[in-house]
Amino acid sequence: MVDLQAIVDDIHRTLTPRIGEGKVADYIPQLARVDAAKFGMSVIDLDGRVYKAGDCDEPFSIQSISKVFTLTLALGKHGESTWNRVGREPSGSAFNSIVQLEHENGKPRNPFINAGAIVVSDLVLAGHTPREAIGEIVRFVQYLADDTSIAIDPDVAKSETATGYRNFALANFMKSYGKLTHAVDHVLGVYFHQCALAMSCTQLARSGLFLAGNGKNPITGHTVVSSQRARRINALMLTCGHYDGSGDFAYHVGLPGKSGVGGGILAVAPGRASVAVWSPGLNHNGNSLIGSLALEMLAARTGWSVFGAPAT
Ligand code: GLN
């Protein structure tokens, strides 16, 4: 029996001297103000036991991790026809890259790069006003985490709206190809607000439990998606969840994961646990540097890699 709390404590102790390495995202002014010295980690197993360390209960901006939740919502609303609008292949380029879009006639490679997530926001918006769609996203995440205190940080949403030039470019570009159904500012209103959800590692790990539990949150007993859909979302997280660093993350960690520029990563160990880490310093691919190392250490010590356990 592995002592998970001892492993989590040891990872925290080992990486503490390195906290502050990496670069805090500064293209969203409100994110640039975050304290670079933060590091938290929460692991929740399928029996609901929580193993945690550091700043694991402090809310931070989940940013692109929200793309997992909106994809789940869009699949619930639109089913497989979601894939007519967005692809399922790794992009091999940066999260906010525009280059591939022209070659591929405005259809984004996958739902986790910005262009793809903007299309997913457009799908979530179907039949709603932006305010209703944002409300639906917040309620869905609260339901997943079984925590009604989860909310959007309005200052982050405002800051990103004011400076989201690249996202406006992506959305306008796709609109010009007829790939967005709704008005660009409505779609981006939804997108910027979902990215501005503030959650702690513990809340985030709880919200990812359904992906570890074959579609069912074992704590609440809620079946969120079918086991097939949970497997498929995990597959997308594994192949596309870290942008141009997805191959590296699979190589070093070997778990489905989704990162955000706020420095958070949600990782799923299918059949075992949901894990969230947070440390704001990012590596050159825009993924948490310390967070990635923490997950690498966790996977190595638990043998949770989906590619096989280490020899004992
Ligand atoms: N809100 C951020 C953006 O659109 C999300 C990017 C990310 O977390 N990688 O630029």
Helix (H, G, I), strand (E, B) or coil at 150: coil
Q: How many residues does the chain have?
A: 312
Cα 164 to ligand 1 centroid, rounded to whole Å: 9
Report the C-alpha gap between 261 and 94 in whole angstroms. Answer: 12
Q: Over the stretch 17-52, which tens digit does the pLDDT of each residue have? A: 999 999 999 999 999 999 999 999 999 999 999 999
Ligand 1 pocket, residue 167 CB under 6 Å = yes
Mean of the pLDDT values across residues 106-123? Answer: 97
In the chain, where are the structural domains located? Answer: 4-60+200-302, 64-195
Residues in Cβ contact with 246 at an 8 Å cutoff, skipping those fewer than 6 apart: 90, 238, 239, 240
Place of tokens 């043998």: 303
pLDDT value of residue 311 = 66
60 has which bridge partners? 199
pLDDT at position 80: 95
Summarised one tens digit per residue, pLDDT across range 230-268 is 999 999 999 999 999 999 999 999 999 999 999 999 999
State mean pLDDT over 163-183. Answer: 97
Choice among 91, 191, 200, 268 that is catalytic: 191
Mean pLDDT on 133-145: 98
* Options 261, 268, 275, 277, the catalytic residue: 261
* pTM of full prediction above 0.95: yes
Task: Report d(CA 223, CA 231) in Å as an integer.
Answer: 14
Share of the chain above pLDDT 70, in %: 99
Per-residue confidence band for 94, with pLDDT thresholds at 50, 70 and 90: confident
Selecting from 3.40.710.10, 3.40.50.2300, 3.40.50.300, 3.10.580.10, what CATH number does the domain 4-60+200-302 have?
3.40.710.10
**pLDDT tens sequence across 201-237:** 999 999 999 999 999 999 999 999 999 999 999 999 9
- CATH classification number, 64-195, choose in 3.40.50.300, 3.90.1150.10, 3.40.710.10, 3.20.20.100: 3.40.710.10
Radius of gyration of the chain (CA): 18
Active site residue 8: no
pLDDT of residue 150: 98
Q: What pLDDT score does 93 carry?
A: 84
Q: Do domains 4-60+200-302 and 64-195 have the same CATH topology?
A: yes
Residues 6+ apart with CB under 8 A from 30: 61, 153, 155, 156, 158, 159, 160
Q: Are 64 and 121 in contact (CB under 8 A)?
A: no
User: Is residue 7 within 8 Å of residue 301, measured between CB atoms?
Assistant: yes
What's the pLDDT at 84?
Answer: 97
For 282, list phi and psi in degrees, rounded to 5.
Answer: -105, 155
Task: State whether the beta carbon of 260 lies less than 6 angstroms from ligand 1.
Answer: yes
